């Protein structure tokens, strides 16, 4: 028997190798397929949830962008308005326009005479109709004495009925009685009720009357607040990041500060609200409900986010850039401002926008500084009392009127739109200014 070790048959060996690999291959591919399936599944379920959420909000909210209006023939009779002869602007502004509206309804339904019935009839028109008419007449005083035809907002109860959000009886959520329903039917038959674009929703502040409530107050409040936040937290955050990343010595103090900044980013936002209440309002005596204070509070919240993002952006700048700058004799400051910062800027801006987007969606800390108040006037400076979009949504979601439900969803859509725009801006910035080195 030949005991000498034969060199392995190379062909056989490689055939074996092929066999073994082949046997394993199927398993490897199976594994990969399974992993992909899991991944796909999670993506699909995520997208489904998101789609469901968005669809629900959109379905609930889209109808708020249109408002039910009544076509009325209005007799701008100086007598009914309570005007004497030579009427000036001041008198015009304080005249009784609701009376004109009531008279016009009375002409449409002459058979309605009782006090109670008349009141029920008048309730079909929004209480704001008189104000709208007033604004119209003050802008065009020549209308006095003429008969005009105008579309004025219907009451929210009519609005809900006409949009099909509620049924006709009290069991179906309807709040109109039989007589009112009959009048509405008659108006519909006459073509005097229609859906029109809801301008008021975009131009008005908050209101007790759903048909008069709008998001402009909240939008402007949010804008002022974000402005304050941006102006404070971006320069501060970027400077802090530059100092910590580029100039600070490595020692225990700096480590301590770093740890605290990271912790600050994880503090629940309501804590910042409490801090803001104690410091800015109670100690410094700044006004309540002002976007300035809201912006200060949110700056505290956004600052760590911006610092962390900016430091990451600075760290991502390759050392070769620094070496190049130092090698030619830049001072550390010139190196940072001429070379490192321009490359880090897109990352910093992205971080800032994401921080801003978070601040835009924040409501809890703002409740603490009084931005939850019911404020009708649209703010014109950051010191005026105001509310912000998320708080406006919260307030409406809390209101009993059925018509506020669709406005809540519509306001959420608007807020999501703003957030989408901001995030797209972040993506755009990143791709636009991302340089290759």
Partner 1 sequence: MASRISTTMDAAAFVAPAGGGEPGTVGDIHASDPVITVRGGNVHYGETHALKNVSLDIGRNEVVALIGPSGCGKSTFIRCLNRMNDTIEGARVTGEFRLDGQDIYAPEMDVVMLRTRVGMVFQKPNPFAKSIYENVAYGPRIHGLARSRSELDDIVYGSLRRAGLLDEVKDRLDRPGTGLSGGQQQRLCIARAIAVNPEVILMDEPCSALDPIATARIEDLIDELSQNYAIAIVTHSMQQAARVSRRVAYFHLGMLVEVGATDKIFTNPSHRLTEDYVTGRFG
CA distance 297 to 359: 10
Which of 239, 320, 380, 381 touches partner 1 (CB under 8 A)? 320
Number of alpha carbons in the 13 Å side-chain half-sphere of residue 157: 19
- The whole-angstrom distance between residue 131's C-alpha and the CA centroid of its chain comes to 28
Closest approach, Cβ 432 to partner 1, in A, equals: 14
Least distance to partner 1 from the beta carbon of 328, Å? 4
Q: Which is nearer to partner 1, 282 or 331 (CB)?
A: 331
Q: Are 392 and 411 in contact (CB under 8 A)?
A: yes
Q: Could you tell me the two tokens for 422? A: 């901001």
Report yes or no: 82 and 95 within 8 Å, Cβ to Cβ.
Answer: yes
Instruction: State in angstroms the smallest separation of the CB of 334 from partner 1.
Output: 6
Strand order in the sheet with 193-197: 147-153, 66-75, 193-197
Closest contact distance (angstroms) between CB of 429 and partner 1 is 16
**Of the residues 66, 118, 163, 322, which one makes contact with partner 1 according to CB under 8 A:** 322
Size of the site for partner 1 (CB under 8 A): 21
148 phi and psi angles, rounded to 5 deg:
-120, 160
In the bound state with partner 1, the residue whose beta carbon lies nearer, of 326 and 425, is 326
User: Which residue of 250, 251, 283, 431 would you call a contact of partner 1, by CB under 8 A?
Assistant: 250
Instruction: Report the distance separating Cα 280 and Cα 267, nearest Å.
Output: 19
Helix residue ranges per DSSP H, 243-290: 252-265, 269-276
Residue 328 binds partner 1, judged by CB under 8 A: yes
Backbone angles phi, psi at 417, to 5 degrees: -60, -45
Q: Cα–Cα distance between 276 and 278 in angstroms, integer?
A: 5
Helix (H, G, I), strand (E, B) or coil at 214: coil
For the chain, give the number of residues.
437
Q: Which residue, 27 or 436, is less far from partner 1 as judged by CB? A: 436
- Longest alpha-carbon distance in the chain: 137
Contact 390, 418 (CB under 8 A): no
Q: Which of 256, 327, 376, 420 binds partner 1 (CB under 8 A)?
A: 327
Rounded Cα gap, residues 415 and 60, in angstroms: 15
Q: How far is the CB of 258 from partner 1 (least distance, A)?
A: 16
> Is 324 near partner 1 (CB under 8 A)?
yes
Residue 205 to residue 32: CA distance in whole angstroms: 56
Residue 59 or 328: which CB sits closer to partner 1?
Answer: 328
Q: Does 262 bind partner 1 (CB under 8 A)?
A: no
- Among 321, 373, 397, 413, interactor with partner 1 by CB under 8 A: 321
- In the set 112, 143, 326, 354, which binds partner 1 (CB under 8 A)? 326
Position 268 contacts partner 1 (CB under 8 A): no
Residues 194-233 that bind partner 1 (CB under 8 A): none
Residue 323 beta carbon to partner 1: minimum distance, rounded to whole angstroms: 6
Only segment of 68-76, 265-273, 298-306, 326-334 that touches partner 1 (CB under 8 A): 326-334
Which residues in the 331-350 window bind partner 1 by CB under 8 A? 331, 334, 338-339, 342-343
Task: List the x/- string, 109-128, binding to partner 1 by CB under 8 A.
Answer: --------------------
Q: Does 325 bind partner 1 (CB under 8 A)?
A: yes
If binding is defined by CB under 8 A, does position 432 make contact with partner 1?
A: no
- What value does the CA radius of gyration of the chain take, rounded to a whole number of Å? 33
Dihedral sign computed on CA atoms, order 138, 143, 147, 149: negative
- Name the residues that contact partner 1, by CB under 8 A: 250, 320-331, 334, 338-339, 342-343, 435-437
């Amino acid at each position: 028997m030949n005991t000498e070790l034969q060199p392995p048959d190379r062909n056989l060996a490689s055939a074996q190798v092929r066999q073994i690999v082949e046997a394993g291959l199927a398993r490897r591919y199976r594994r990969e397929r399974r992993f992909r399936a899991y991944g796909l599944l999670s993506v699909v379920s995520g997208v489904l949830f998101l789609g469901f959420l968005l669809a629900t909000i959109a379905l609930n909210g889209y109808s708020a962008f249109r408002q039910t209006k009544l076509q009325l023939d209005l007799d701008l009779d100086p007598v009914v308005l309570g005007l004497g002869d030579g009427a000036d602007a001041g008198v015009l502004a304080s005249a009784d326009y609701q009376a004109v509206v009531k008279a016009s309804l009375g002409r449409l339904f002459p058979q309605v005479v009782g006090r109670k019935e008349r009141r029920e009839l008048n309730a079909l028109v929004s209480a704001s109709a008189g104000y709208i008419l007033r604004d119209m007449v003050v802008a065009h005083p020549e209308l006095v004495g003429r008969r005009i035809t105008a579309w004025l907002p219907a009451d929210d109860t009519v609005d809900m009925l006409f949009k099909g959000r509620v049924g006709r009886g009290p069991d179906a959520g309807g709040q109109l009685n039989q007589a009112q329903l009959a009048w509405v039917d008659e108006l519909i038959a006459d073509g005097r009720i229609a859906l029109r674009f809801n301008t008021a929703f975009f131009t008005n502040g908050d209101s007790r009357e759903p048909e008069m409530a709008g998001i402009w107050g909240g939008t402007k409040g949010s804008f002022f607040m974000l402005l304050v936040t941006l102006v404070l937290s971006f320069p501060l955050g970027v400077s802090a990041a530059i100092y910590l990343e580029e100039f600070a010595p490595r020692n225990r103090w700096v480590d301590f500060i770093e740890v605290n900044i990271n912790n600050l980013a994880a503090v629940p936002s309501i804590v910042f609200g409490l801090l803001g209440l104690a410091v800015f309002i109670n100690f410094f005596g700044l006004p309540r409900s002002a976007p300035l204070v809201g912006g200060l509070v949110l700056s505290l919240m956004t600052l760590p986010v911006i610092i962390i993002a900016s430091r990451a952006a600075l760290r991502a700048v390759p050392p070769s850039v620094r070496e190049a700058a130092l090698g030619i004799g830049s001072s550390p400051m010139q190196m940072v401002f001429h070379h490192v910062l321009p490359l880090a800027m897109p990352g910093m801006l992205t971080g800032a926008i994401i921080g801003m987007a978070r601040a835009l969606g924040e409501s809890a800390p703002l409740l603490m500084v009084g931005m939850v108040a019911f404020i009708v006037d649209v703010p014109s400076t950051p010191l005026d009392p105001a509310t912000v979009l998320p708080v406006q949504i919260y307030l409406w979601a809390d209101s009993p009127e059925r018509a506020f439900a669709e406005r809540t969803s519509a306001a959420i859509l608007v807020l999501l739109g703003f957030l989408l725009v901001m995030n797209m801006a972040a993506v755009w910035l990143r791709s636009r200014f991302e340089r290759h080195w």
